[in-house]
A = this chain, B = another copy of it.
Amino acid sequence: MIEGKQIIGFELKAGGDVLWQSTNPATGEKIADFRSATPAEIEEAATKAASAFLVYRKKSGFEKADFLDAIAGEMSAISDELLAICMAETALLKVNLTIELNRTINQLKMFGNLLREGSWLDARIETAEPERLPRPKPDVRFMHIGLGPVLVFGSSNFPFAFSTAGGDTASALAAGCPVIVKAHPAHPATGHMVAQAILRAAQKTGVPDGVFSHLFDNGLSVAQALVVHPAIKAVGFTGSTKGGKALYDMAVRRDEPIPVYAEMGSSNPVFVLPEIAKNEAENFAKGFASSVSVSVGQLCTNPGILLYEKSQASEGFTNKLQQEFQQTVGGVMLAPNIANAYNTGVEHRAAHPGVEVISKGQTTEGLNVGAPVLFKTDSTAFMADATLAEEIFGPESIVVEANSKEEIFNIARNLHGHLTATIHGTPADLEAYRELIDILELKVGRIIINGFPTGVDVSSAMVHGGPFPATSDSRATSVGTAAIFRFTRPVAYQNMPDALLPEELQNANPLNIWRRINGAMDQGKVE
């Protein structure tokens, strides 16, 4: 059996006493041995990251882009092996993992392109006016720089896209920040293979020892030591509300508080407006059932609440939902604790006096299986018990039947923060419910019309974030190019001689980037 090792900059170590295994959740078979990182290994990763930052941050955008591209290339070169080990560790389907791996590779390249294009820096130049009264105007120039080493937690449910070389790592490296990943113990062998690809890319592209480290832990030691470590300047996390909030609480109590970007729970409410419920029930129900059950419901954007208004058409609409939901198929979940939490959560909700189970998907046999469940409640019960709006991580959703449009608006007004909200409506529906969009804008990071929230597109315009408790910081997105700003801060240079300025701010604009010169967008030189 292979043994995973901590990757600490350019060195591999495995000095720990705590030995554990990664397992195939479908069979219980052991896949590989791992040792939790020791305090000395943790300290070494932090120290190396702090030193590497001083060198790495001064590399040009082109050099950092080359590093990101090299990681993408190293991952592409071993994609078959990556998919094989990941399927064994996670029980996710090859078709979905292939999409996720490609998305992860493209995401690395996207950040490379962002660095080469350069306008992300928000470079701003105010030129001097020595004659200005009552005081001369100084020359002041502004751009973003990296915060320092970033601690990234691999997520359970996205072994590629939100793990070792996922969006947090890619955006932090793009920002000029070294990264220490705490690998998720549900798929450590996948993480280790990706981390070795990053190590090869680092050595080939000449970034310094310590820009990337990858630590294993099946407990809390790495998290507890690094979140409060003075070398760490920000944290990226995707996972449970409890886990994310615990990291946040540690980080804000440090002597030097640091930002924590925790993407936590979200039930992603879906609103079905009357004409859709009446005329498009079957189409909607098919899409909805698929969005709830894809990847055994283990997606942050899984639509966990479905709301509509009671009407003459409601019964037919509910019947279609029930029928389509019966066609869904459950499967092996990512890990025993996740399957247990899902099945316990579903049982608990089924026992709620105001809730009934109106449809079940097909079950499969075997270990760690989760089956799709569709609950139903009414608006009174839903409004009376906030736990009914909470996510149960897995392939379930709850249908909420409201008595009026005003009740729909009230429920929307009372939602806490979610990653997404979705509205299905005809043009006439949307016009009649226009206020709903205004309400939901304040509740979520992304509003989807006539689509489904799963399948987050990675682009310059994506927001994967939202008000608390969807995330710990609504000002940020963890997907898309704007994710880079989680790990940067602006710095200004006043009256600095041109040759001492970063190239991005020099008069001649040698990088040919868009800048804001005396307040106006400009891609030229400073005259």
Q: Which residues does chain B contribute within 8 Å of A518, judged by CB atoms?
A: 460
Number of copies: 2
Q: Which residues of B contact A451 (CB under 8 A)?
A: 138, 494-495
Known A147-B474, A446-B493; further 16 A-B contacts with Cβ < 8 A: A124-B461, A126-B457, A138-B457, A140-B446, A142-B460, A147-B475, A249-B252, A252-B257, A257-B468, A430-B500, A441-B491, A445-B491, A445-B492, A446-B492, A447-B493, A449-B493
The one of B114, B481, B496, B516 that contacts A447, using a Cβ cutoff of 8 Å? B496
Contact B257 A141 (CB under 8 A): no
A521 engages B521 (CB within 8 Å): yes
Least Cβ distance of A116 to chain B in Å? 11
Closest to A481 in B: B519
Chain B: minimal CB distance from A216 (Å): 30
Given that A438-B58, A492-B461, A519-B113 are known contacts, is A482 also in contact with B142, CB under 8 Å in the complex?
yes
Chain A contact residues, CB within 8 Å of chain B: 54, 58, 99, 102, 113-114, 117, 119, 122, 124-126, 134-135, 137-138, 140-142, 145, 147-148, 248-249, 252, 256-257, 259, 416-417, 427, 430, 434, 437-438, 441-442, 444-451, 455, 457, 459-463, 465, 467-469, 472-477, 480-482, 485, 488-497, 500, 514, 516, 518-521, 523
Q: A113-B519, A119-B521 are in contact. Are A259 and B142 (CB under 8 A)?
A: no
| Closest residue of B by beta carbon distance from A479 | B492
Pair B521/A468 contact, Cβ less than 8 Å = no
- Set of chain B residues within 8 Å of A468, measured between Cβ atoms: 256-257
Q: In angstroms, how far is the closest chain B Cβ from the Cβ of A183? A: 27
- Docked CA distance A374–B294 (Å): 69
- Determine the chain B residues whose CB is within 8 A of the CB of A459 once the complex forms: 126, 137, 140, 519
Q: Provide a sorted-by-A list of 24 A–B residue pairs whose CB atoms are within 8 angstroms.
A: A58-B438, A99-B134, A119-B521, A126-B459, A138-B451, A138-B457, A140-B461, A140-B462, A142-B480, A148-B442, A248-B257, A259-B475, A427-B497, A445-B491, A446-B494, A450-B495, A451-B495, A459-B519, A463-B491, A463-B492, A475-B488, A475-B489, A477-B492, A514-B521
From known contacts A145-B441, A441-B145, infer whether A125 and B461 are also in contact, taking CB-CB under 8 Å: yes
